[in-house]
Amino acid sequence: MRNRTRLILLTAVAVVCVGAAVAYVGISLGSEPSGKASGTRVVGPATLGPGAAPIRTTDASSIDSGDLLFVSMIPDRSASSLAVASLSDLQGVRAISDLRCERAAYAGGRGICLIRGGGEDVESEVEIFDSNFHVDRRIEVEGAPSMASVSTDGRYGAMTMFAPGEEDSGESSSTETTILDLETGKEAVDLEKLPLTKDGRPFSSDGLAFSGVTFADDDDHFYASLGLDANSYLIQGSLRDRKLKVIGEDVNSPSLSPDGTRLAFRRVVGGAGNWRLFVLDLRTMKATRLAGDDPIDDQAQWLDDGRVGYSNDNKLWAVAADGSGQPRQILPYAFSPTVIPAS
């Protein structure tokens, strides 16, 4: 009788332990960000340096609404891998994919990944990928990655490549911008061949280079910059009408806000190369300088209607779009951000 009682007690304890384990596993799985594979790893001070806060990582399986897509720059074997983190918990688990990029952009179920090639010639590769990081198409291009964007419906992708000048000719370096049809992988429009006007009259773009395309939600209109430094112009274009027009000056690397009413952009303040962020109200054409004194060598991205995000020194920062406050670091070891809006 005593042995039977002991057996019953042992069985009850085992059932309780199994139940607790199952509950723990359920809670752990439930706390994983959606679209991320289970199995969390921790990158600590041994990799990041003394005193650095640990970073939790896992394997990425998909890109979901409410994510921030970016190039992870953790200094280990995963460096330059495309990654996602939840916008609502950027300090949570970072999901890292097998896709390596130098610049990336994504929207509407399609993305472009720009990868610098090796060898003596400056060549790169464009990879068109889907929401599961599967590469559907690869395209060889000239130049080094500079900027990338994708239209809201995922139909078009724009890339700006940095092209060094010919040594023998003495030409300075410049940029070349291409808009691709991501369904076919072919060039959708040659910006340099489109008619360009300023104040209703023909305007020549000779000697000036396009850069920094940003798409409107109507999947027709887009904005871009033409030229460099103080001799730069804000361009509005139409994919359907195949026309371009100058609508502003001293604007570089524009990025359209989610509500379509403002453009974040760079402008030189002081000496050459001292880029600072501004926001242009498209209704009044008034520009507001954003907080921060560090040079910005990046095309800004809107985190939401009230905040602009950008990468600097392999960190992601956020700053208020109305010019108030100060920039705040939101993610370390990260570059080239793209916001995936919540559905």
pLDDT digits 0-9 by tens, 276-288: 999 999 999 999 9
In a domain, 328, yes or no: yes
For the cut 60, the answer to whether the pLDDT of residue 292 exceeds it is: yes
Look up the CATH number of the domain holding residue 316.
2.130.10.10
Give the range of the structural domain holding residue 16, as residue numbers without chain letter: 1-31
Residue 271 Cα to chain centre, angstroms: 27
Tell me the pLDDT of the chain averaged across its residues. Answer: 87
Q: Which two tokens stand for residue 24?
A: 């723990």
Q: Are residues 125 and 150 in the same domain?
A: yes
Provide the pLDDT confidence category of residue 13 given band limits of 50, 70 and 90: very low
Pair 61, 19 in one domain = no
The pLDDT tens digits for 68-98 are 999 999 999 999 999 999 999 999 999 999 9
* d(C-alpha 307, C-alpha 320), whole Å: 5
Query: pLDDT higher for 114 or 31?
Result: 114
Whether residues 95 and 231 share a domain: the answer is no
Question: pTM value?
Answer: 0.85
Task: Say yes or no to pLDDT of 310 above 60.
Answer: yes
Give the pLDDT of residue 118: 66
Same domain for 138 and 75, yes or no, is no
Q: Which of 45, 67, 100 is the last residue of a domain?
A: 100
The answer on pLDDT for 240 being more than 60 is: yes
Both 66 and 116 in one domain: the answer is no
257 or 37, which is more confident? 257
For residue 171, pLDDT over 60 is answered with no
Q: Confidence class of residue 55 from pLDDT cuts 50, 70 and 90?
A: very high
User: How far is Cα 182 from Cα 208, in angstroms, rounded to an integer?
Assistant: 26
Domain count, the chain: 3
169 and 302 part of one domain: yes
Distance CA 186, CA 182 (A): 7
**How many C-beta atoms lie closer than 10 Å to residue 260's C-beta?**
13
Q: Supply the pLDDT for residue 120.
A: 56
Residue 67 φ/ψ, nearest 5 degrees? -95, 160
Name the burial class of residue 199, with classes exposed (0-12), middle (13-18) and buried (19+) by CB atoms within 10 angstroms of its CB.
exposed
Q: Is the pLDDT of residue 24 over 50?
A: no
